[in-house]
Copies of this chain bind each other. A is one copy, B any other.
Amino acid sequence: MKIDRLVGERFKEKPSDCVVDSHALMIRGGYMKGVANGIYSSYMPLKRITQKIENIIREEMNAIDGQEVQFPVVMPASIWKETGRYDSIGSELLRFTDRNDIPMVLGMTHEEAAVQLVRDCAGTYTKYPFMIYQIQTKFRDEARPRAGLIRVREFTMKDAYSFHTSQEDLDRYYKVCYDAYNRIFARAGVPEVITVQSDSGIFGGNVSHEYMLLTPIGEDTLAICDSCDYSANMEAAQSIVENKCEGEDRPLELVSTPGIHTIEDICNFLHTPLEESCKAVIYQKNADDSFVVVFIRGDLDVNETKLTNYLGEAVHPGEVTDGCGLYAGFTGPYGLDTEKFTVLYDKSLEGTHNLSCGANQPEHHYTGLKISRDIGDVEYIELAKIKEGGICPKCGKHTIKLSRGIEVGNIFQLGTKYTKSMGMQFLDSEGNLQYPIMGCYGIGVGRLAASVCEAHHDDYGPIWPMSIAPWHVEICCLRADDDECRGVSDKLYEDMKADRMEVIYDDRNIRPGAMFSDADLLGIPVRVIVSPRNLGEGVCEVVTRDKQINEKVPLSEVIDFVKKIIKDRLDELNG
């Protein structure tokens, strides 16, 4: 391929709507173009990158006995109604009707389709275990697409589904898949991807892990222990709190607090630490807008995923209106109408005393609250978010660090949620009917490409790992108007093509600076620079995009030299 034939063009200016580097570089580098909010077309370089990623994934899935299949993008709503997800998933599931007014959905995930495909042909235990997977376009109608390929509405995903006759067998295979995922990320050039425990969310099931690339631009917050190997998604991380109850109990006392509406303000006003306050966080249930009041220690925040999981239904931030019985900024446990509201207490309040809190009347707070004395026996539930410097649930030290990360893959143990609701059964070895146990395993292909770019780039462009680079080597003919320079470059290009090397050739008659800018944006791992000055010495310059190699190589040795770099780097990535 010659660069001047590439349809996508490269340019210098950073597009104003790009908030992350990978997005800006992939727009500037002629990798992709926006078609609608969160929907992109890919030019050839990105298509080649994603195909290489897909092939790595395919090889690793086949190596663990995956059978590649294909589910439809457009599915009948009926199978989503079988599992209840047609109603339980929000507007990110795109629903429409076809020309015959049959309700349909666009596939954002394919658990239903997977069970539909196999439920009639795995009726006996001898067919198990098996894993099917596809690499296919998906659509998720995100409210806020952002950051280029990191969060889009239409995306290509590898999704795999395994079926087992026992939890033990799923556990075994889950570990196999866990390792395969680590190999995939290592081969794609991001061995630094870590796994964290996660919440299973809309997929159901219990055990699940996310594969995270740590980066400040990540959308997820992770709790990682500095001292042991504990790591978890913020949403899944257990929050352990040491509750202090020092000194004498003070009595409950009503205090006039005109104009004070936040827990920080009341603590400042009283000269007490946040840890000695009881904050109210108010939600409303999506279903009926009834209020949920969560009481939590003033220095902590509510983990809404834990709250949703506990309630078994979705909530949104509460809107306190006149006459609803709650007073914004003055809500507290004492005197609150527990018949009218769902009232929950976080574990951070268990065994504490001398708390300040709202008084359920305008412009007043209480001090000296002791829940066990003033309210009585209440249930304490874990609803708090883990904090920076918090206690590691595994090693018990105050060593939790919070980091940002991009989720590049995830694996879930689904249990029998889908097989039960869709009536998939098998006869076990003793002739009893059972529901198979499922696992599911996803990787977003485009997001992985963008994540690799995010992890490996400089100010001038991506630094693609050899395994997924659109081409392995680029020839830069610095003086296309010089006969010898062009002759040598042309011959190198033809020889490399004849050798089936993945080569791209820049033979445009442009300034070296412009040529190198374009080369940086394409991020090809190896660059061969042919210039009259070098030819005077009988050499070419061979440099790598990551600057680790920069050598003058005799003309006759260039191809072997480049091939060795390519082979070494591929070997290194493939372990």
Contact = CB atoms under 8 A, between A and B. Distances in A.
Interface in A28-46: 30, 33, 35-37, 39-44
Nearest to A92: B99
A121 B8 CA distance: 6
Interface stretch (A133-141, A283-291, A344-352, A541-549): A133-141
A113 B41 contact: yes
Contacts of A39: 72, 74-76
A104 interface: yes
A91 interface: yes
Q: How many copies does the complex hold?
A: 2
A341 interface: no
A391 to B, nearest CB: 40
A177 interface: no
A69 B7 contact: yes
Contacts of A72: 35-36, 39-41, 154
Contact of A44 (B40, B69, B116, B143): B69
Interface in A123-175: 126-127, 130, 132, 134, 136-137, 139, 141, 143, 153-154
Nearest to A121: B9
Given A36-B76, A73-B137, A7 B67 contact: yes
A141 B35 CA distance: 22
Nearest to A93: B99
Contacts of A50: 70
Contacts of A48: 68
B9 A116 contact: no
A113 to B, nearest CB: 6
Contact of A36 (B67, B70, B75, B106): B75
Given A7-B132, A36-B75, A122-B7, A141 B69 contact: no
B136 A99 contact: no
Interface residues of A, number: 62
A121 B117 CA distance: 43
B99 A96 contact: no
A47 B74 contact: no
Interface in A208-223: none
A110 B130 CA distance: 37
A104 B95 CA distance: 12
A514 to B, nearest CB: 16
* Most chain B beta carbons < 10 A, residue from A35, A42, A75, A76: A35
A110 to B, nearest CB: 9
Given A41-B116, A69-B43, A96-B94, A35 B76 contact: yes
A69 to B, nearest CB: 6
A7 B4 CA distance: 47
A135 to B, nearest CB: 10
24 contacts: A7-B117, A7-B118, A7-B122, A7-B127, A35-B72, A35-B113, A36-B74, A36-B78, A39-B72, A39-B75, A39-B76, A41-B71, A41-B113, A41-B116, A42-B69, A44-B132, A48-B68, A50-B70, A73-B154, A74-B153, A74-B154, A94-B98, A98-B141, A99-B141
Given A47-B68, A72-B154, A92-B99, 5 more contacts: A41-B72, A42-B70, A73-B154, A74-B139, A137-B137
For the complex of A and B, the 7 pairs showing the least CB-CB separation, nearest first, are A96-B96, A36-B76, A9-B121, A42-B70, A44-B67, A91-B99, A41-B117
